[in-house]
Structure 1
Amino acid sequence: MPKFDFPLFYILRGVQAVFAIVVLGLTGHAVNEWDGWQSDSVNFMLFNGVWTFFIVVPYFILAPIFVPVLAHRYALPAVDGVTMIFWFAGFIALAVDLGDTSGCSHNSVCQGLQAAAAFGAFNWALFVATTVLNTMTAIRRDPGPGPQPPTASMP
């Protein structure tokens, strides 16, 4: 059985944070440029970037170290799963709102939103991977009396 330890998860969390920053920047630029036009899908992708970069990634990195009681073995896959659903809903909704690629040929904001949808899809795939790994770890871990560090190793 393969052993997964902290470096793998730190790398995945780092890539998730970078993709969240990219989506945050692209959707923030679109919201800034299109003053009168509001799109729920753009706003939701903006939320996904904020949620992932400022809440989820710090939670997964800092909670097990400084507040291990918050890093319950079932809370970690739950947070990963909810975030995975957010990214899936966000990138699909944004892609549907943008439509086909011919409408964005000379519009940099629209092209930026296409890139945001693509990075959202990649981030969704990363959250699928971390959700599966965290769920496997939570299921296989021995139930102890107290909180355990997340994804320290898989037996």
Structure 2
Amino acid sequence: MAAFDARSIVLALRIAQTILAIIILGLTAYVANWWSNYWHASSPSQVSFLLFTSVWTLLALLYLIIVPWRFSETRAHHKFAILGVETLTMLFWFAGFIALAVFLSDRVCFGHVCSAAKAATVFGAFEWAMFAGTTAMAVLHVLRTRGHTSNRGRADPNLNIQEGV
């Protein structure tokens, strides 16, 4: 368990989450662009939602990385705020990759655009798994620090460093 308390592990997870979000952003943007050019209609809502989730994730990761690093003594750095952003992002990824997988399962799908949509679905599942892990770490931190109203002098909720270890 102590291996997951290291700042470098969480930073590595954040970097991997960022890279996957950028990859999925590119793949879903390609699919949405192809759909609008080929069918002359807006892209399916499943593709658009995964595109939104990628953008949301990049913004959420800015908060999850910068706030604990630079603003640890302010109100912006609160364990429940971090838990809320983690949980919401995890739920978005779960809903997004499942919706796109169901959409693709009902279609005759071939070619580059189909491969890109399937790849976005698979990468979305990996992104969800990583956010499920970091959300679990945030939940464990909240449970470990029950009864404390302030983060001052406590472990960093985003990095899950135990106090006194």
Tell me the TM-score normalized by structure 1. 0.89
| CA–CA separation in structure 1 for the residues paired with 2:102 and 2:69 | 40
| CA–CA separation in structure 2 for the residues paired with 1:152 and 1:127 | 15
Are 2:54 and 1:49 equivalent residues in the alignment?
Answer: yes
Aligned to 1:93: 99
Per-residue Cα deviation, 1:99-128 (whole angstroms, up to 9, x for no partner) = 168x333x1111100000000000000011
Shift of 1:45: 0.3
2:138–2:160: 8 Å Cα contact kept in structure 1? no
Please list every run of 5 or more consecutive structure 2 residues that lacks an aligned counterpart in the other structure: none
Aligned to 1:122: 126
| CA–CA separation in structure 2 for the residues paired with 1:145 and 1:93 | 39
| CA–CA separation in structure 1 for the residues paired with 2:53 and 2:87 | 13
1:141–1:154: 8 Å Cα contact kept in structure 2? no
| CA–CA separation in structure 2 for the residues paired with 1:131 and 1:21 | 20
Shift of 1:134: 1.0
Counterpart of 1:51, as a letter, is W
Greater relative contact order, per chain length (Cα 8 Å cut-off, separation 6+): 1
User: Measured at CA, do residues 16 and 24 of structure 1 come closer, stay the same or move farther in structure 2, by a change above 3 Å?
Assistant: same
| CA–CA separation in structure 2 for the residues paired with 1:146 and 1:136 | 15
Shift of 1:146: 4.7
Answer with 86-95 or 28-37: which moved more.
Answer: 28-37
Are 2:70 and 1:78 equivalent residues in the alignment?
Answer: no
| CA–CA separation in structure 2 for the residues paired with 1:98 and 1:125 | 20
| CA–CA separation in structure 1 for the residues paired with 2:2 and 2:70 | 28
Aligned-pair identity in percent equals: 37
User: Secondary structure at 2:2's aligned position in 1?
Assistant: coil
| CA–CA separation in structure 1 for the residues paired with 2:27 and 2:89 | 19
Shift of 1:44: 0.3
Tell me the TM-score normalized by structure 2. 0.84
Shift of 1:33: 1.3
| CA–CA separation in structure 2 for the residues paired with 1:9 and 1:83 | 16
Aligned to 1:31: 32
CA RMSD of aligned residues (A): 1.9
Off by >4 Å, runs of 4+ in structure 1:
none
Please list every run of 5 or more consecutive structure 1 residues that lacks an aligned counterpart in the other structure: none
